[in-house]
């Protein structure tokens, strides 16, 4: 789900679908005969998608996403999205699912709210009530290699319209994300040079709402050097638009944390934590239990990459399993703990800090989170003198209101994704991965996303309202 430039080389076919609603959104098929959206392979209807060929089902799913946007947007000018299935960057463990850009950008047109500011084509058309460049408004590509060997092997696009994707990737969700980029959820300003786009060197409308809490400046008012620093200022860049900020408290929840209550020497709140893309969402009440480590390596670490031994299974039964990161997928570790009757799992990072835990497994029913290497070492120190079945280390895994709202600053402004080092195609043009619940416009797809683009599930439409939709 990265918004980087994608050039279409096939001819555009006159096959399109119009969405009914406050706006008209047309999906135009740019694939060659026999491939992508024209793939004739027969398929059975799935999840409300009645297409009988692979290409038709793909087109139906994309049209469904266009219909959702059409029902929420307002424009007198048709929005034309040119779509193609093409190979995108991927390997066995991950893949770029889609890639989208507006076809053109405009400034100082009739109806522009801000002067000397770039607007994406579709939004400029809406504000001016004129089709300023009738060559299509958005260009989207979706990964035609997904699921093949060395491209998230075995994980395919789910083409149903009901979001019942299981362990596959929901194409409607990915299309909603990509189309939002084309509608203006991105900046054209370089995060590596800090330079504004075009020979005129103008800010994007998006830049006027990027506020850096370190400097108190928006990207539109910074120097190039300040923007370069801001693009990698972790947890410092926020979206300062009124529509998003007013809606943040009704969408974002307090962040999860591990609150250790015993023994007193190590008691406290262990946060921030890494949030999984799988398993149940923690609640305010959460789960409380005794912490017991998995130990399956000669050096004392326990990675739980294989089904737990009888000794480990007895230790974690009815407990919260403490597991080390490394070697295998997070889903495998948590699933092995679940199969041993653990009630939850804490993953200890093998490096400073924490990361989001990727993966999909619809069969995981216990909650999990990641703590830092340092915090893990503290827990392990208290677990040295445990018995085989008891440790005396008690913890609660739950949402913690004392920590504010996840993915937002103290003023309830949502954080923008600014990792260090800079990630081309992802940095700045997404919400931060610390948002909880997961947002549609985070840089990676999460299994728990819905088809909603607005409150109370999501904040994508609110950002588009801020820039002028």
Same domain, 37 and 148: yes
User: What is the pTM (predicted TM-score) of this model?
Assistant: 0.84
Confirm whether 191 is domain-assigned. no
Residues 329 and 287 in one domain: yes
Task: Indicate whether 311 and 359 sit together in one domain.
Answer: yes
Q: Which domain holds residue 139?
A: 16-183
Tell me the backbone φ, ψ of residue 403, rounded to 5 degrees.
-95, 10
Cα(425)–Cα(417) distance, integer angstroms: 11
Residue 317 sits in the same domain as residue 383: yes
If you write DSSP's letter for every residue of 388-450 in order, what string do you get? SS----EEEEEE-GGG--TTB-TTSPBBB---SS--TTTSSSSB-TT-SSPPTTSSS--TT--
- What is the H or E stretch that residue 157 is in? strand 157-158
Assess whether 278 and 390 both reside in one domain: yes
Nearest to 146 by CA among 88, 193, 192: 88
pLDDT at residue 347, as a whole number: 98
Tell me, yes or no, whether 119 lies in a domain: yes
Say if residue 321 is in the same domain as residue 214. Answer: no
Report if residue 188 sits inside a domain.
no
Domain for residue 196, yes or no?
A: no
Q: 461 lies in a domain?
A: no
- Both 118 and 67 in one domain: the answer is yes
Q: What is the pLDDT of residue 28?
A: 98
Cis peptide before 35 (omega within 30 of 0): no
The verdict on residue 454 lying in a domain is: no
**Is residue 155 situated within a structural domain?**
yes
Same domain, 274 and 346: yes
> Which alpha helices (DSSP H) does 277-372 contain, by range?
310-316, 330-339
Does any domain span residue 56?
Answer: yes
| CA–CA–CA angle 93, 99, 103 (5° rounding) | 170
Q: Are residues 165 and 222 in the same domain?
A: no
What CATH number corresponds to the domain at position 388?
Answer: 3.50.30.30
CA 297 vs. chain centroid, Å, equals 34
CA–CA distances in Å: residue 76 to residues 70, 79, 127, 170, 461? 11, 9, 9, 30, 18
- Domain co-membership, 231 together with 276: no
> Mean pLDDT of successive 10-residue segments in the chain (469 residues)?
31 37 92 98 98 98 98 97 97 94 98 98 98 96 97 96 95 98 98 97 98 98 98 97 98 96 97 91 96 88 94 97 96 98 98 90 96 97 94 97 94 97 97 93 92 98 98
What total number of domains does the chain contain?
A: 3
d(CA 411, CA 409): 5
pLDDT of residue 12: 35
Q: What pLDDT, on the 0 to 100 scale, is given for residue 452?
A: 98
277/152 same-domain check: no
Phi, psi of 142 (to 5 degrees): -125, 145
Whether residues 126 and 221 fall in one domain:
no
Instruction: Provide the token pair at 353.
Output: 């800090």
């Amino acid at each position: 789900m990265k918004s980087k430039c994608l050039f279409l080389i096939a001819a555009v076919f006159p096959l399109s679908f119009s969405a009914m609603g406050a706006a008209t959104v047309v999906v135009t098929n740019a694939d060659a005969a026999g491939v992508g959206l024209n793939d004739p392979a027969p398929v059975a209807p799935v999840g409300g998608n009645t297409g009988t060929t692979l290409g038709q089902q793909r087109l139906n799913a994309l049209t469904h996403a266009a219909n959702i946007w059409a029902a929420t947007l307002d424009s007198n000018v048709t929005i034309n999205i040119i779509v193609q299935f093409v190979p995108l960057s991927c390997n066995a463990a991950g893949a770029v699912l889609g890639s989208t850009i507006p076809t053109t950008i405009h400034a100082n047109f009739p109806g522009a709210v801000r002067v000397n500011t770039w607007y994406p084509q579709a939004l400029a058309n809406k504000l001016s009530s004129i089709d300023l460049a009738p060559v299509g408004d958005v260009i989207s590509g979706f990964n035609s290699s997904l699921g093949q060997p060395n491209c998230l092997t075995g994980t395919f696009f789910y083409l149903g319209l009901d979001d019942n994707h299981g362990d596959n990737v929901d194409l409607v969700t990915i299309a909603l994300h990509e189309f939002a980029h084309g509608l203006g959820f991105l900046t054209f300003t370089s995060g590596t040079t800090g330079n504004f786009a075009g020979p005129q060197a103008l800010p994007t409308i998006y830049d006027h709402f990027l506020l850096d809490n370190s400097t108190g400046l928006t990207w539109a008012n910074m120097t190039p050097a300040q923007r370069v620093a801001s693009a990698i200022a972790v947890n410092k860049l926020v979206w300062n638009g009124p529509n998003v900020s007013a809606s943040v408290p009704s969408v974002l929840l307090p962040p999860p944390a591990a609150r250790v209550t015993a023994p007193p020497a190590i008691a406290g709140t262990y946060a921030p934590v890494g949030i999984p893309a799988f398993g149940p969402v923690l609640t305010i009440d959460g789960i409380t239990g005794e912490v017991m480590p998995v130990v399956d390596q000669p050096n004392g670490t326990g990675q739980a990459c294989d089904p737990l031994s009888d000794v480990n299974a007895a230790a974690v039964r009815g407990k919260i399993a403490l597991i080390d990161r490394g070697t295998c997928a997070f889903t495998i570790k948590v699933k092995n703990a679940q199969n041993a009757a653990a009630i939850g799992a804490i993953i200890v990072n093998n490096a400073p800090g924490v990361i989001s835990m990727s993966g999909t497994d619809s069969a995981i029913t216990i909650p999990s989170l990641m703590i830092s290497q340092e915090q893990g070492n503290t827990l392990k120190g208290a677990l040295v003198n445990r018995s085989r079945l008891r440790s005396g280390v008690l913890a609660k895994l739950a949402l913690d209101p004392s920590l504010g709202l996840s993915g937002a600053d103290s003023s309830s402004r949502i954080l923008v994704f600014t990792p260090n080092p800079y990630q081309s195609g992802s940095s700045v043009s997404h919400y931060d991965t610390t948002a909880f619940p997961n947002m549609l416009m985070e840089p990676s797809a999460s299994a728990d996303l819905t088809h909603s683009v607005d409150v109370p599930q999501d904040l994508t439409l609110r950002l588009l309202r801020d820039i002028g939709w």
